[in-house]
Structure 1
């Protein structure tokens, strides 16, 4: 996969990046969003299970802070 000069290329085809962005906006605009988050991990590359457990721990801490035990 390669993005260059406003185009996204893969083995099968290329797509104008703006058209791709517009398509995602159209799809995601169908839903009401209260929150949108992206999560990255600094430094090390985590195994998917470790990332999932770390995310679950974060959600647990947020729930406890909001609602108590």
Structure 2
């Protein structure tokens, strides 16, 4: 049987470790949310840029066709 000082020490250490694990888990969830948000923003921006490039290409094709005729 452990003496009360050892039991108290081990309980305190366990509580401290559990608290640190909980804190790390929250931090990791926050990091995942930030990464997901950034990826979503980048995906939306790439879509907008792709549409702008397509519109520019369409304009160039129209201008080239007008020059040829």
Q: Which one has the largest radius of gyration?
A: 2
- Larger RCO of the pair (alpha carbons < 8 Å, separation 6+): 1
Normalized per residue, which structure has more helix? 2
**Do the two structures share a fold, i.e. TM-score over 0.5?**
no
TM-score normalised by structure 2 residue count: 0.31
What's the TM-score once normalised by structure 1's chain length?
Answer: 0.31
- Structure richer in strand, relative to its length: 1
